[in-house]
Amino acid sequence: MRRRTSPPILLGAFLLLVAAVPAGARDYFIDDEGSVHEPAINAVAAAGITLGCNPPTNDRFCPSRPVTRGEMASFLVRALDLPAASPAGFVDTATSVHAATIDSLAAAGITYGCDPPDYDRYCPGDAVTRGQMAAFLVRALHYTADGGGDRFVDDDDSVFEADIDKLATAGVTFGCNPPDNDRFCPNDAVTREQMASFLTRALDLEIPAETITVSSVQELDGVAIGTSETTAVAQLTALFGTPTSDTPERCPYFLTDPNMRHVTWGSLTAAFRTTASGSEPLGFVGWRYKLEPDLDPAAGGPTPDQFELPYGTAFLDPIGDPAAASGGTVETTPFTFIVLDLGDYLFEAPGISVDLDAPVDGIRQGYGWDCE
């Protein structure tokens, strides 16, 4: 995107309008898109049960990787807020980053070890099987009802059958072969994404609202500015469903024929340049999210609490600070709003005047581009 040098409103600038995101309503990791367990992954992250899998950045969850016994200890200790404990006496945990949580788990009676009958080892690097997972959760959450037992056809020979039945009766597991779900696959390894769903159900965690995440001003939920019209419309339709409107537009407005296409999903609109105009690119060129106090969720598109930007709403409160820090200017317009111009970023406030030192109410936040 090139820097705007002309007044944005008179040139038909397209403004991104941003909603505030409540605590917890965010997409925590970059590698779980498309996973059916993504809402549960966000739930356990919001609850502080998982931190990620690639410290210190921790922007990845590694959803398909098996859960290790060490990770299981840390998940459960954080989930249950278990206190620190004295060393449990395991001979193989001293070098594990999970050593302290393993001791806490043992002190709570949730684990005995991995090598009966000695039980002097924990095997922190071993993958947790689904049968072992059932035992961990049943001990941790004190499930007792088994629903009459024999919930699955493939666990009769498992030492964990009783725990598996209790876990199913508690509604924490449904099975491993939908839609029949008459099998549990007790010897299969539990993946990190599956564990997120098990913990979310077991702890009745609130699943944060799905968010529309913007990692930079030049993409919308992974669809990059510059993507071809056909591809971008298909990708955005896959994200947001059937558009509520799809109209040709002219930009600037004195053109004889439409050179733009605006596709709308309720409160969200994407702009596409369909006809060459000088050196301007074709395809997906911009988007806006219209935040208004009386926004009707029934109109479709994402709701205000589903929108997330990297710079956040605090950047605008009060808006005098970014203006001073970035050398921005406040521009009046012939219309009933004022524009705070920070170059690539534009912030539009309702009314003919704005108190730059006051908290912002109903601010519109975005960026524009030349379209002539």
124 and 261 share a domain? no
241 and 121 share a domain? no
Where is 331: in which H helix or E strand?
strand 329-332
In a domain, 285, yes or no: yes
As a residue count, the chain comes to 372
Using pLDDT thresholds of 50, 70 and 90, give the confidence band for residue 328: low
Percentage of the chain modeled with pLDDT above 70: 65
The mean pLDDT of 5-14, rounded to a whole number, is 24
> What are 205-253's pLDDT values in tens digits?
987 655 555 444 556 667 777 889 999 888 888 777 788 889 888 876 6
79 and 178 share a domain? yes
192 and 295 share a domain? no
169 and 300 share a domain? no
In a domain, 1, yes or no: no
186 and 239 share a domain? no
CA distances for 337 relative to 9, 246, 274, 297, 317, angstroms: 10, 27, 30, 24, 17
Q: Give the position of tokens 């990620």.
A: 52
User: Which of 154, 175, 203 represents a domain boundary (last residue)?
Assistant: 203
Q: Which residues pair with 268 in a beta bridge?
A: 265, 289
In a domain, 4, yes or no: no
Amino acid (1-letter code) at residue 337: F
In a domain, 300, yes or no: yes
198 and 261 share a domain? no
In a domain, 17, yes or no: no
- Max Cα–Cα distance, the chain, nearest Å: 85
140 and 99 share a domain? yes
pLDDT given at position 192: 96
pLDDT beyond 60 at 320: no
In a domain, 337, yes or no: yes
User: Which of 203, 224, 257 represents a domain boundary (last residue)?
Assistant: 203
Q: Which residues pair with 220 in a beta bridge?
A: 223
For 173-306, list the strands marked E by DSSP.
212-213, 219-220, 223-224, 245-249, 260-265, 268-273, 283-289
Q: Which residue has the higher pLDDT, 244 or 318?
A: 244
70 and 168 share a domain? yes
The mean pLDDT of 12-25, rounded to a whole number, is 29
166 and 135 share a domain? yes
68 and 138 share a domain? yes
pLDDT beyond 70 at 276: yes
**Structural domain of 95:** 38-203
pLDDT beyond 90 at 341: no
User: Which of 155, 185, 203 represents a domain boundary (last residue)?
Assistant: 203
The mean pLDDT of 72-76, rounded to a whole number, is 97
Using pLDDT thresholds of 50, 70 and 90, give the confidence band for residue 280: confident
- Name residues whose C-beta falls within 8 Å of residue 118's C-beta, 6 or more positions apart in sequence: none
pLDDT beyond 70 at 197: yes
**Could you give the CA distance from residue 128 to residue 71 in angstroms, rounded to a whole number?**
9
- Name residues whose C-beta falls within 8 Å of residue 152's C-beta, 6 or more positions apart in sequence: 164, 165, 168, 175, 182, 183, 184
**Could you give the CA distance from residue 30 to residue 258 in angstroms, rounded to a whole number?**
37
pLDDT beyond 90 at 315: no
Provide the number of structural domains found in the chain: 2
pLDDT given at position 84: 95
Q: Which residue has the higher pLDDT, 42 or 65?
A: 65
In a domain, 27, yes or no: no
In a domain, 312, yes or no: yes
Using pLDDT thresholds of 50, 70 and 90, give the confidence band for residue 39: confident
187 and 275 share a domain? no
